[in-house]
Amino acid sequence: MPMIETINLTKRYGDLVALDNLNLTIEEGDCFGFIGPNGAGKTTTIKILATLLKPSSGQAQIDGLTVGYQNRQIRPVIGYVPDFMGAYEDMVVMEYLQFFASAYGIHGRERMKVVGDVLELTDLAYKSAAEVNSLSRGMQQRLSIARVLLHDPKVLLMDEPASGLDPRARIEIRELLKELKRMGKTILISSHILHELAELCNVVGIIEKGKLLYSGSVREILKKARVGHVIHIGVAEGTERAAELLGGLEGVRRVGVIDGEDTTETGAPVRVIHVEYEEAPGRSYTDLPNVLVNNGFRIAQFSEEAVNLETAFMRLTKGLVQ
């Protein structure tokens, strides 16, 4: 049985369809990266799973429990981390966590132990007496994660947890999420920092205008996004002539000349030929260097552009919002 499953999940606000028959399947122990532009429906999905919104139609289940009908049983199973946390004024970190531990029904010595454990896990023990409002945004996000770990939930629902963080804070959050993944938590995380999702998540889903476009492993999505090959070629001289020659070859769909990295002694940008090539039986992009050499060009650079999660996202979406 999947840990998280949605079946034709739909959410409407009047004439606006925020979610349109969304079908997701997330297995126990998965770290699922939820990708999409602002307004695509990511936050709506997470809030429905967190039992904070009611779907208009369709169904969502967590650990076999149905959202909207078994919310009281679902809430102990989940931990919801919004993109921005709130706190009572003048509350210190220890008080904040003890307050929520008490709300979860954790009391006495057990509460002190649990609070101490999550402070250690999130590396916030040295801030236990600091006011919550005095913490940096990165520390506040770690505290928000500490809060939802108090009752040891099976599922973590995280809405842009690295939003607005500086590079060091993002790395700290990423390492914390890796540790939670090693602990066997099922994690659904939305983020705009796609290269970090590729490193963290074993499964990703791309949503646009309320519709799920793709869902699967990172490798599968990169494979779907690969339409031919993108090659960068540098020649010692005669870049424009080489580009014209390549543009007339079979299999070459597009050729352009772009500025590469500044590798000359003068710091001037090196001109690089950008080739989009579609392979077919009997021809390969690896033939391109031979063509150039046979026509008197000296090759200084030849590399294939990697398709990563960011380029896959750009190729598979159209930038549509609600």
Is 313 domain-assigned? no
Q: Tell me, yes or no, whether 239 and 134 share the same domain.
A: no
Range of the domain at 282: 227-306
Q: Tell me, yes or no, whether 294 and 149 share the same domain.
A: no
Q: Are 204 and 254 in contact (CB under 8 A)?
A: no
Task: Give bridge partners of residue 42 from the DSSP assignment.
Answer: none
Please count the other Cβ atoms lying within 10 Å of the Cβ belonging to residue 247: 14
Of 232, 160, 242, nearest in space to 196 by CA: 160
**How many residues in total does the chain contain?**
322
Q: Tell me, yes or no, whether 96 and 183 share the same domain.
A: yes
Q: Are 259 and 269 in contact (CB under 8 A)?
A: yes
> Which residues lie below 8 Å from residue 70, measured CB to CB, with a gap of 6+?
none
SS3 category, 313: helix
- 157-171, 235-249, 252-266, 282-296: which has the minimum mean pLDDT? 252-266
pLDDT digits (tens, 9 = 90+) for 61-111: 999 999 999 999 999 999 999 987 777 778 999 999 999 999 999 999 999
Domain endpoint, select from 183, 204, 224: 224
Is 320 domain-assigned? no
Amino acid found at 108: G
Is 22 domain-assigned? yes
- CATH number of the domain that residue 243 is part of: 3.30.70.100
Mode of pairing for the β-strands spanning 78-81 and 155-159: parallel
Report how far apart, in Å, the C-alpha atoms of 40 and of each of 63, 141, 316 are. Answer: 25, 23, 14
Q: Tell me, yes or no, whether 37 and 77 share the same domain.
A: yes
pLDDT at 169 over 90: no
Q: Are 207 and 41 in contact (CB under 8 A)?
A: yes
Q: Tell me, yes or no, whether 151 and 171 share the same domain.
A: yes
Q: Tell me, yes or no, whether 152 and 220 share the same domain.
A: yes
> Which residues lie below 8 Å from residue 221, measured CB to CB, with a gap of 6+?
204, 206, 214, 309, 312, 316
Q: Tell me, yes or no, whether 170 and 258 share the same domain.
A: no
Is 216 domain-assigned? yes
Is 171 domain-assigned? yes
Query: Measured between alpha carbons, how far is 84 from 233 in angstroms, rounded to an integer?
Result: 45
Q: Tell me, yes or no, whether 172 and 65 share the same domain.
A: yes
Q: Tell me, yes or no, whether 211 and 242 share the same domain.
A: no
Query: Measured between alpha carbons, how far is 88 from 130 in angstroms, rounded to an integer?
Result: 13
Q: Tell me, yes or no, whether 162 and 264 share the same domain.
A: no
Report how far apart, in Å, the C-alpha atoms of 57 and of each of 8, 21, 97, 138, 209 are. Answer: 7, 8, 36, 37, 17
Residue that is written with structure tokens 């066997």 in the block: 184
Domain endpoint, select from 164, 189, 224: 224
Q: Tell me, yes or no, whether 69 and 86 share the same domain.
A: yes
Q: What does DSSP assign to residue 51?
A: T
pLDDT digits (tens, 9 = 90+) for 3-25: 999 999 999 999 999 999 999 99
Angle ∠(166,41,189) on CA atoms, nearest 5: 45
pLDDT digits (tens, 9 = 90+) for 247-292: 999 888 889 888 765 454 545 557 899 888 887 888 888 899 999 9
Q: Are 18 and 41 in contact (CB under 8 A)?
A: yes
Domain total in the chain: 2
Q: Tell me, yes or no, whether 295 and 150 share the same domain.
A: no
Of 314, 82, 99, 14, nearest in space to 194 by CA: 314
Domain endpoint, select from 224, 244, 267: 224
SS3 category, 247: helix
Mean pLDDT of 163-192: 88
Predicted structure pTM score:
0.76
DSSP assignment string, 84-148: S----TT-BHHHHHHHHHHHTT--HHHHHHHHHHHHHHTT-GGGTTSBGGGS-HHHHHHHHHHHH
Residue that is written with structure tokens 């549509």 in the block: 320
- CATH number of the domain that residue 117 is part of: 3.40.50.300
pLDDT at 146 over 50: yes
